[in-house]
Amino acid sequence: MVTTILNADLHCHSVVSDGTLTPEALAERAKAQGVELWALTDHDEVGGQHRAATAARAIGLHYLTGVEISVTFVGQTVHIVGLGFDPDNTALKAGLTQTRGGRNQRAMEMSDGLARVGIKGAYEGATQYAGNPELVSRTHFARFLVETGICRDTNEVFRKYLIEGKPGYVPHRWASLKDAVGWITDAGGAAIIAHPARYKFSTNEEFALFSEFKSHGGLGVEVVTGSHTAAEYLTYADMAIEFGLAASRGSDFHSPTESHTELGALPYLAGSLQPVWELLSHRIQAHSAPGPTSAVAH
Ligand code: AMP
Ligand code: MN
Ligand code: MN
Ligand code: MN
């Protein structure tokens, strides 16, 4: 029987997107924090997957491939996590390349917006922080504005400069929900709605998101995530059951100094939920450390 009592952390970011640690350092940190099953889920990019899987296996961590795809749904950005797919799948990689494509132009426009309120050189500043030139994100702008003393922390940068209506915000059209779910599913993985409580949808729009996601072949929803409150764990546990979706668990860790949730430091999933790792047991890359090799076959 597969248990919900597993320290699975299936959502975090490395320098390959907007995290500050390498895939190898994240693997080490996850292991040290007691994580048993791990996935690196960089934004719109699978370039770190082989490194993460190799590092995880070498230190005794079970691994699932991961990605977090940016999607536009009824005018808002929604994140879809993919788990357990083939990272070399051609159509998935082409879809992600296309999704990353607009980021550089957007970054230049963000910089223009910031220049209009007196903040110069933000494009050059932000790209210096980007480990992957194809993945300049708002997080990199936030780090630049903190480093230059314009704001105290990244939260303040987002609030004052990077969210809708603020000078550095540039609207962007990401992948469609159907495409993102299709790329993940066709590559053998499971599509998961990331941190559902973070979106500003009406009840009807949220219902549409879950229904359409499910009709496109989506399989799960993040219930326990670093960006949900305890009350939201309950709300989305109910939603998972209502929509017949499996449940996922992940910190959304980005950095030792910026993230409020440490790798693996989350409550377990409720026993009434079906964990996504049950659906993906055949896709888990087991580690080669001595001792019991199956952390998931309790
Ligand atoms: P982008 O994909 O370039 O739009 O950047 C989105 C990223 O910004 C998210 O993945 C988070 O890492 C980060 N982010 C979004 N909102 C906030 C916030 N309020 N405070 C700190 N980081 C945020
Ligand atoms: Mn991020
Ligand atoms: Mn996200
Ligand atoms: Mn994330």
- Backbone phi, psi, residue 24, to 5°: -65, -45
pLDDT greater than 70 at residue 1: no
* Ligand 1 midpoint to CA 155 (Å): 9
Residue 182 CA neighbour count, 13 Å, CB half = 11
Q: What is the pLDDT of residue 290?
A: 53
Residues in contact with 179: Cβ distance below 8 Å, sequence separation at least 6, in sequence order:
95
Mean pLDDT computed over 89-107: 97
* pLDDT computed for residue 196 by the predictor: 98
**Residue 155 CA, closest ligand 1 atom number:** 20
Q: How confident is the model at residue 294 (pLDDT cuts 50, 70, 90)?
A: very low
Region 114-137: mean pLDDT is 98
d(CA 174, CA 180): 10
> Domains of the chain (ranges plus CATH)?
8-99+174-296 (3.20.20.140), 103-162 (1.10.150.650)
Ligand 1 pocket member 100 (CB < 6 A) = no
Confidence of residue 286 (pLDDT cuts 50, 70, 90): confident
246 by Cβ neighbours in 10 Å (0-12 / 13-18 / 19+) ranks as: buried
Residue ID of nearest Cα to ligand 1 atom 21: 155
Q: Find the mean pLDDT for residues 248-261.
A: 96
pLDDT at residue 23 in the model = 98
- Fill in the amino acid letter for 261: T
Nearest-atom index, ligand 1, CA of 103: 3
**For residues 69 and 148, what is the distance between their CA atoms, to the nearest angstrom?**
30
Q: Give the mean model confidence (pLDDT) for residues 99-110.
A: 97
pLDDT at 288: 65
The residue to which tokens 């998961």 are assigned: 192
Q: Is the CB of 43 under 6 A from ligand 1?
A: yes
* pLDDT tens-digit readout, 169-197: 999 999 999 999 999 999 999 999 999 99
Helix boundaries (H) for the chain: 23-32, 49-59, 90-100, 103-116, 122-129, 138-147, 154-157, 177-186, 203-215, 230-243, 276-279
- What number of other Cβ atoms are within 10 A of residue 215's Cβ? 11
How remote is the CA of residue 34 from the centroid of ligand 1, in Å? Answer: 26
Mean of the pLDDT values across residues 270-281? 97
Mean pLDDT on 55-84: 97
Closest residue by CA, ligand 1 atom 9: 139
Q: Average pLDDT of 205-227?
A: 98
CA atoms within 13 A on the CB side of 187: 28
Q: Average per-residue pLDDT in the chain?
A: 95
Q: What is the pLDDT of residue 73?
A: 98
Cβ burial of 112 (10 Å; 0-12, 13-18, 19+) is: middle
Q: Of 61, 68, 69, whose CA–CA distance to 26 is shortest? A: 61
Structure confidence at residue 298 as a pLDDT band (50, 70, 90): very low
Cα angle, residue 136 at apex, residues 134 and 140 outer, rounded to 5°: 150
Give the pLDDT score at 77: 97
Ligand 1 centre from 159 Cα, in Å?
11
Mean pLDDT along residues 31-43: 98
Query: What is the tens place of the pLDDT at every residue in 222-247?
Result: 999 999 999 999 999 999 999 999 99
Q: Confirm or reject: Cβ of 254 under 6 Å from ligand 1.
A: yes
For the cut 70, the answer to whether the pLDDT of residue 117 exceeds it is yes
Question: What is the rounded average pLDDT of the residues 119-127?
Answer: 98
